[in-house]
A and B are shown apart, each in its own frame.
Chain A
Amino acid sequence: MLKLYETELSSRLLLGTARYPSPAVLSEAVRRSGAGIVTVSLRRETSGGKAGGAFFELIRNLGVRILPNTAGCHSASEAILTAKMAREVFGTNWIKLEVIGHHDSLQPDVFELVEAARILTDEGFSVFPYTTDDLIVAEKLLAAGCRVLMPWCAPIGSAAGPRNPSALTAMRAAFPDIPLIVDAGLGRPSHAATVMELGYDAVLLNTAVANAGDPPAMAEAFAKATDAGRLAYLAGMLEPRDMAVPSTPVIGKAVFS
């Protein structure tokens, strides 16, 4: 079972709550995904310091664990402030820490990220950092007190899928005991299956589901792919080889020729 900051979760899918056609569609997507955690952007749904009361109430009523995020923050101080607001609004120490370095590419600013992670951990937060696949940054995040890492596999919202599977493999090998969640860039269920086959512990999705033609159906498709990938990883997959291997012995033919 997946364990994040002492909390056990049966689902390995985390779902974002932004950009759905309506809150009703969002609720149905969460239900069909079976997700145990949803992320919520505080900043996007806040105006003049007043947060979206009715929408947040709706999210609370989904009956799943809430992981507030700091999407849209561009500096450590902004992210820290948003995290504290989130703690007030949702009554949780969990925070998905996102510090964006560039508003256009949405690349994480890993320097500010590490700084914010350190301060928030010191203040009692359980930090889920959105990071790149850089191993040194990952080490610094762990040193800052993070017990979960959330690397991207491609830029946010790109739907590009795993762009550098070798880097993801290296990260898995480098941190065998740390829960690793692929956070951004997944576009289709096969992408989710692929990273789960690499041994990742969970996936986090938003745009791929929210912007699908039928978000609830897509949520279910991702849930199945995530489970399939996990199951395959545990079952042990064959490594590819260059030659055909007959599955039954071929009698009467010359072998090893």
Chain B
Amino acid sequence: MISLLLISLILVSIVPLHKNTIFNLALSRIVSIILIFSSFLIMNIYYIDRIYSGVHIFYGYISINSINQVFQFFLLLIGALISVPGSVLQNNKLIQTSNLIFQNVHPYLNNYGLIILFNLIGACALITANDMLTLYIAIETQSFSLYLLSTLKNDSIRSATAGLKYFLIGSLASIIILLGIALLYYASGLTNFENLALYFNITDFNPYYSTLILSIGFILIGLLIKVGAAPLHQWTPDVYSLVPTAVTTWLVVLPKLSIFVLLLQIIELILLGSITIQNLLIIISILSLIIGAIGGLYQVNIKRLLAYSSINNLGFLIIALTISNKVSLEAFTFYLTQYTFTTLNIFLILIAFGYLAYLYPIKNNRMFITQTKELSNSNLNVGDQTQDINFINQLTGLFKNNPILTISFIICLFSFAGVPPLMGFFAKQQVLLASLSVGFIFLSLIAINTSVIAAFYYLKLIQVSSFINNDLSLNLQKKFFKNTDKLADTLSKGVGQGISKNFFNSNSNISHVHSYLISILTCTILLYAIKPTLLLNLTSILAFYAFSI
């Protein structure tokens, strides 16, 4: 279905209208609807008791099992949800303002739908891969579309930098994976996952044992570079902070989800190799926890901060993956689900902040001044830099401007920090319980301590958005909806230092769908404790099948 949609979009792109921004917004709605329908198509044929151990299709290159079907459903649904903010417009009156906001987004919207569909095809192929060749092709399909996605805003020096950096690091990771696959084939003559698992199981003495371990290590390291786990994480904060927020949302959520689901399915194959691989994973998880917690402390850019937060979360995921028993896989599935929900919600809120409180960074912010100078030197539009919420300082006074949205933001941050009774707390608790159950006391202590350290920067975000008030927004927000033109004129005469005139011209609301989406995700995170059985039962069943596959 996705491939049919892709072909249809390519055909539509020959119409001259495809350069029209509104036409592209309308197309993105159709893409969202079809992605939701595609996820139903998966559920239409989801019979857990028929496909539990995996049904091979396409000559065994793809395997459909009870786990990857659920995650394919999840992946397509999340893909549809991320496409939603692309179509934010309230009514005809807002078109002028929205065009101002979208003016630099316009070029990338033209091909956004096409590229996310490529990406989803790669991601779906990756999580259903049953052969090293499928794995490599799928990961390349996924990665190529991500490089393109990063550079879609090709009139921006920031996007070009991000794309090039992502491409170089991603290519390096791909080469490492390919080297691993070649070594694996050299040592075993096999590429199929099941054959490899059998080979590892039945071989008591293997002259190529060290080569096999090395190959598995290479593949694992390549995959971990792709997800941005420490100490291979350096590209993550740079790329996430340089691309537009709508693209960052995609980069943070989708590739991680697909690669971790793949790792969940082949973890036994990976761990069958040797205790060395397990130790390697433990070291990576410890480093991710520590670097993710400490790296975020001194950030002034909110997307860099969230990138470090994601590295910290990866640490927890890798712990659950390393333990690899039923309890830990249950924790892993649950953690991955809540991480996806919370990250998606945070970025949807950031996009909404970008539309609503279209605040320029405060002028005395050194980062802003430096970057503005850089941009003016490079003859690029400063608006290119400022249409997204980039700096933490830009969040000041948001509680006064939009309390409900800010509360949603705070709930997500508390959930990330692991404050009960939010969803993030239970996810962390499950991982720690699984870790303690196998005697990883030191690892659990590190996880708890880094979680406390990471809470500092989450609290800093809450403090900035809720307790530090921007006087201008405080004084003027009451009049804001009454007489926007007059207010904007007043501000343009010098009162409104640091705040864009556009902000006051726009009585923009985010779209209904966008706001309902944020509400639903926030309620899920907040009210999870009231009815936890639904998600817990699902994760238990999935872990059961993951363990039996």
A and B assemble together: no
Instruction: Report A's interface with B, CB cutoff 8 A.
Output: none
Instruction: Report B's interface with A, CB cutoff 8 A.
Output: none
